[in-house]
């Protein structure tokens, strides 16, 4: 393979890492699997990411940006501020139904490495904090009381974990109904 630009190699490595780590679990994927899937040589891989843990970190970080970007894009297609909140759960349902869906990458990573890698834990916390903050913005924009945020967040997290375990998109609909009921309670 011809000389490969550093940035391109990095993207290819992260593309392979994302597909393999998410699909098979992080510990089940070796650096050599990443090399084979990406076409980036081991030497290059270790130039870009001095250790596997940093590749994992970069994978979670890039996925976080994309994930929240796609969610925000979908939500912004709705006008009414309350509809936007419910749209979050519509988007979840769509996500759960995608082929290859295996649950939330961050929750899974936490289960795998939460006790071992503090860098992974930091990524997971940061992602969840950002998601919660996004919900808080939606709640505020709708003029709804702030305590609603945490409840919506828990519904979304419960839906993600349950959809992963049961391999059905159904939990998103249940969560959406619960969210709708909560919007105007008390």
Partner DNA sequence: TTGACGTGAGAACGAGCGTTCTCCTACGGT
Partner DNA sequence: ACCGTAGGAGAACGCTCGTTCTCACGTCAA
Buried b (16+ CB within 10 A) or exposed e, 60-87: bebbbeebeeebeebbeeeeeebebbbb
Closest CA to 164 of 1, 2, 23: 23
Q: Which of 27, 47, 54, 76 binds a copy of itself (CB under 8 A)?
A: 27
> What is the nearest approach in angstroms of a copy of itself to the Cβ of residue 168?
11
Side-chain half-sphere exposure of 3, counting CA atoms within 13 A:
0
Contacts of DNA in 23-62 (CB under 7 A): 27-32, 39-44, 46-47, 50-53
Contacts of a copy of itself in 93-132 (CB under 8 A): 102-103, 107-116, 121, 124-125, 128
> What is the nearest approach in angstroms of DNA to the Cβ of residue 33?
7
The number of residues in the chain equals: 186
**Stretch of residues binding DNA (CB under 7 A), selected from 1-9, 116-124, 128-136, 169-177:** 1-9
181 binds a copy of itself (CB under 8 A): yes
The residues that touch DNA, with contacts defined as CB under 7 A, are 1, 3-4, 6, 9, 27-32, 39-44, 46-47, 50-53
The residues that touch a copy of itself, with contacts defined as CB under 8 A, are 23-25, 27-28, 102-103, 107-116, 121, 124-125, 128, 147, 150-151, 153-162, 164-166, 171, 174-175, 177-178, 181-182, 185-186
């Amino acid at each position: 393979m011809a000389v490969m630009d550093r940035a391109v190699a990095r993207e290819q490595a992260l593309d392979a890492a994302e597909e393999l780590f998410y699909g098979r679990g992080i510990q089940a994927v070796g650096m050599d699997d990443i090399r084979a899937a990406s076409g980036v040589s081991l030497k290059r891989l270790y130039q870009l990411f001095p250790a596997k843990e940093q590749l994992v970190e970069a994978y979670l970080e890039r996925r976080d940006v994309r994930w929240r970007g796609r969610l925000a894009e979908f939500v912004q297609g709705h006008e009414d501020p309350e509809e936007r909140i419910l749209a979050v759960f519509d988007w979840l349902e769509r996500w759960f139904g995608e082929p290859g869906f295996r649950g939330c990458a961050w929750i899974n990573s936490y289960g795998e490495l939460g006790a071992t890698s503090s860098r992974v834990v930091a990524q997971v916390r940061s992602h969840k904090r950002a998601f919660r903050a996004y919900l808080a913005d939606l709640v505020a924009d709708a003029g709804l009381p702030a305590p609603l945020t945490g409840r919506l967040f828990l519904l979304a997290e419960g839906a993600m974990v349950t959809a992963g375990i049961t391999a059905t998109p159904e939990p998103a609909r249940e969560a959406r109904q619960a969210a709708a009921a909560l919007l105007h309670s008390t």
